[in-house]
Amino acid sequence: KRCFLASTVDEAVEAVRKIMVERIFGNSGRRIVVEDCLEGEEASYLVITDGKKFIPLATSQDHKRVFDGDKGPNTGGMGAYSPAPILSQELEEEVKRKIVFPIIDGMNKKGMPFKGVLYVGLMITKDGPKVLEFNVRFGDPEAQAILRRMNSSLVDVCMSAASGNLIDSLEWISDTSICVVLASKGYPGKYERGKVITGIEEAEKLDSIVVFHACTALSNGKLVTNGGRVLDVTALGRDIVEARERVYEAINRIHFDGMHYRKDIGFKALKSNL
Ligand code: GLY
């Protein structure tokens, strides 16, 4: 952990003392960055750019903490859904105008145009959208939720970005998609590998279910776990309620020793669905 979240000035001073005086992170503590503590709801906004123009992908929201109710340590992401109702059309326009366009234009003007997927990690605060991070890649598990809704060719849009002649529009289905990550016992800490996985075929017999393999392997002809985040179970539904019902019914058919997952993926969208 190289980051402290301080809610008071005293906590911030104590964190600086630990890093710069006690040197709990060794020499990395010679320089620190102090940022505003942002409060709100997170959302992921991904665009594909050819270096000049950009085309947004569908909005999504990740669930970074390991346990229900956003408790426990951070993970790479325990589940996602798309669209993310928190990103209203108005907010999306603000994100494009104030964040996405200036960064793509800025990189271009500096002679370093960026072509590819730009991932903007946002905190939607009461003062509007703020940037938490940029990644130059898809999000995982956001991509699984987003791409289930894409009705255009991913290859075509990537090729058009790479060739510097980005296509004008993408088609999306109106359904809500959801992705729930099935993780190994102990993840995001230490975990074991090699647990036999069953039930994927039975799960995929259900309506709209697709199971993506994240960290699996074949051992003596059997499918086994081979990492922390093992499988990504995705479903589509008319709304978040139906998508959730479908995905958790499918998960009930899948098993490996120590398997754990969040039961509340999409809970923030559920609130706005009530
Ligand atoms: N799910 C978060 C990320 O891909 O960075």
Q: How confident is the model at residue 5 (pLDDT cuts 50, 70, 90)?
A: confident
Q: Smallest Cα–Cα separation from 163: which of 115, 110, 104?
A: 115
E-strand spans in 59-187? 61-62, 65-67, 71-74, 79-82, 116-125, 128-135, 176-183
What pTM does this model have?
0.91
CA–centroid distance, 160 to ligand 1, in Å, is: 24
124-153 pLDDT, tens digit per residue, is: 999 999 999 999 999 999 999 999 999 999
* 193-219 average pLDDT score: 98
Which residue's alpha carbon is nearest to atom 4 within ligand 1? 139
* 204-221 average pLDDT score: 98
The Cα-based distances of 102 to 69, 132, 137 in angstroms read: 35, 16, 19
Q: How confident is the model at residue 69 (pLDDT cuts 50, 70, 90)?
A: very high
Nearest atom within ligand 1 for CA of residue 141: 1
Kindly state the percentage of the chain with pLDDT values over 70. 99
Q: What is the pLDDT of residue 273?
A: 66
Two structure tokens written together for 95: 């994100």
User: Among 31-45, 152-166, 212-226, which stretch is predicted with the lowest mean pLDDT?
Assistant: 31-45
Nearest atom within ligand 1 for CA of residue 80: 1
Pocket residue to mutate for ligand 1, from 59, 63, 75, 119, most atoms within 8 A of Cβ: 119
Statement: residue 76 has pLDDT above 90: yes
- Burial grade of 110 (CB within 10 A; 0-12, 13-18, 19 or more): exposed
